Chains A and B, each alone.
Chain A
Amino acid sequence: MLESIVHVCLAGLSQGMFIWLVASGLTLIFGVLGVLNFAHGAFYMLGAYFCYTVLAALGDNFWLGLIFGPLFVCAVGFLVERYFLRYVYHLDLPYQLLLTFAFVLIFDDLVKIVWGAGSISSPTVPGLGGSVSIMGRMFPTYSLFIIAVGPLVALGLWAALERTWAGRIIRAASSDREMAAALGAKVPWIFTGVFVFGVWLGALGGGLAVPYVGLLTPGMGESIVIEAFVVAVIGGLGSLKGAFFGALIIGLLSSFGTRFLPSFDMFLTFILMALVLLWRPQGFFGEASR
């Protein structure tokens, strides 16, 4: 029994860290730009496909794929922000949702045209493809690696935003874009940069998901982006700290739910979201009003 609890816990942690990787980019973009980027799941999918393509082209080197794959997605993200999204910042939220949702459909179809409609099975990562025995039961090494990567990304983000000059300007532009512009900050370029960085986080999540999920399919970002939205709402929209802890809670909740309350596993996540919205609509770490 104890070994089961430990393994359910580990499975929940790795699942939570995956959701965090996706939710971090989503939250960053919302926090700074105020845009609910529905296409984030599509960038996650593109990240997975580009990583896979690069790693296949460079002789199955997973690490090179992970470094170079997301850069292609960043280029796509740049075009989307510069030539489309920029024109709807001043419009209501529904317009932003419609535009970003349109990109979900476009990218899904592009993936089908370029890589085919069928699923692609992915190779395992050399050195991380095996499992280690934890309390007599095998646990994948790669999942342990993900459990380590999640907090590192969180620390890196925190340091970049709180401890660097660029981070300070980004925070200034997000809290009052007119004042920041008046003080000489090039707000449009900051927004482009933040959007591209958020896209990079999503694409990185996709690349890291390749060996974990084991296959690539068009539309693979749809379910994870919904989980990332739930996490962002629970943690407080725009709050990175909230997204990190929200992802941990959702990961563990769904893992324990599946094991110990199997009839309610899908229900648990959403009931938590509903309760949070009722009693603390700004989320655990959100500000009361912007």
Chain B
Amino acid sequence: MSKNGFTRRQFVKAGLLTSAGAAVGAGVLKPTGLWAAPAKIKGPVKVGYQAIMSGTLAGYGEFHKMGATMAMEEINKAGGIAGVPLEVEFRDSTLKKPQAIKNARYFVDSWGADFLAGVDSSGQALALAPVMAQLGKPLMVTHAATEKLTEIEVFKKGIKEIFRICTPTYQDGNAAAFVAQGLPAKKWATISPKYEYGYTCWKMFKGTLGKLKPGTEFVAESWAPFGTTDFRPHINTIMDAKPDGLYSVEWAGELITMIKQAKQAGLFKQIKHIMLPVGAAMDVLEGLGSEMPDGVWISGRYFFMFPNDQRNIDWVARFRKRWNHYPAYVSETGYSAMFAYKQAVEAAGSKEAKAVIGALEGMKMGSPAGERVFRKEDHQAMYEVPWGLTASNPKYPFKVMGKQVVIPPVEFFNRPPFEGPGTHPPFKG
């Protein structure tokens, strides 16, 4: 027997496999060790993707689909995942919890999914957590933002199957507070959605801004139920309170309606500082066109102009060529989720849930949005997303970010164990 522990036969086998792997496509297969990984993977890698594809928010589902489909096409054209093809199937989440659970069960039990991805609603994501633990397959959340998913379900309850590739409410609440700190506004008010996402963002914004800038007042809040088409009573509430700043996590169509009606009511003349944490969504910017006022602070989960590097510029160009659209943020997170699975499967040399979860924890990956790192403790991807002031730009038929501010994620992401001193921003040192 040889000294290094290999038999002759094993050595030859390993060599054959690695060279077979190399023949399939150099650069596609990256065996991590001598024991070439591809040997263990059988059949296609199947990802079940659910997003909202019906009703007033159906446009979001389309954008999810464009991103994930484009990733699938690119991955398969370049030789697949560890030599096997990637298959993605889409289902309508309808934004209702029972449907989300039904979809997850269908994907895993009937369709044979290896991994799941997608999910827009925070309520759905929280409902899915225990189901994923039961099904034992990873779910990469690409849109739902509540911090409770990663802080409580993953970190506290130990549900290892959940990962999140998009920025959580830290971007909407904490990062907004860091930007607001530098503004001359002293009195803030909100019109926000009357559900989990709206409450949690406003609470975080108030908490962090209160600490960053003691003496800031929060003078009014008006909660608009899902499906609101008339924001005038809400606008009245806010204008009566006479704040200098308005913070709103209204999103998608309702944000478009709110901005149009606020403009007609003269709100932007009375209130000078406006912060819209999800205002940098493409449906909102393209939908409002020139009607979006200048000088409004906007952000999102990704903005196509950031980072200004070759990788992102190329990706946006490819996306526009493929779909004739600028990528929405859910397109980027859907696209990158597929590449996250690819990298994790190839690193683990397996598509088994346990091995892939292990590979994803702490994994660093390049993506159009820049470098992402999946934090080991709570499975939350950390990456930079800018806040910016709306401005006209002759290159685009809609408003884009002019001045941009980037706050490093380590400064404003809550830190494990998420309770007690030193876990919420601002951090010392």
Binding site for B on A (CB under 8 A): 1, 4, 7-8, 11-12, 14-15, 18, 108, 112, 116-121, 130-131, 137-140, 142-143, 209, 212-215, 217-220, 222-224, 254-256, 258-259, 262, 265-266
Contact = CB atoms under 8 A, between A and B. Distances in A.
Nearest to A259: B233
B262 to A, nearest CB: 10
A116 B256 contact: no
A265 B229 contact: no
Interface SS of chain A: helix
A266 B227 CA distance: 12
Given A137-B265, A224-B229, A262-B222, A215 B257 contact: yes
Interface of B: 53-59, 61-62, 194, 222-223, 225, 227, 229-230, 232-234, 236-237, 239-240, 252-253, 256-257, 260-261, 264-266, 283, 286-289, 291
Contact of B265 (A140, A222, A259): A140
A131 B240 contact: no
Given A117-B61, A121-B287, A265-B225, A220 B234 contact: no
A284 B91 CA distance: 45
Contacts of B59: 116-119, 217
A213 B232 contact: no
A179 B26 CA distance: 85
Given A117-B53, A137-B239, A266-B194, 9 more contacts: A8-B233, A119-B283, A213-B229, A217-B58, A222-B55, A255-B230, A259-B233, A262-B222, A265-B225
Interface SS of chain B: helix
Contacts of A130: 264
A259 B237 contact: yes
A264 to B, nearest CB: 11
A227 to B, nearest CB: 10
Contact of A117 (B58, B230, B266): B58
A224 B56 CA distance: 13
Contacts of A142: 264
A112 B233 contact: no
Given A119-B56, A218-B58, A258-B222, A140 B261 contact: yes
B293 to A, nearest CB: 14
Contacts of A262: 222-223, 237
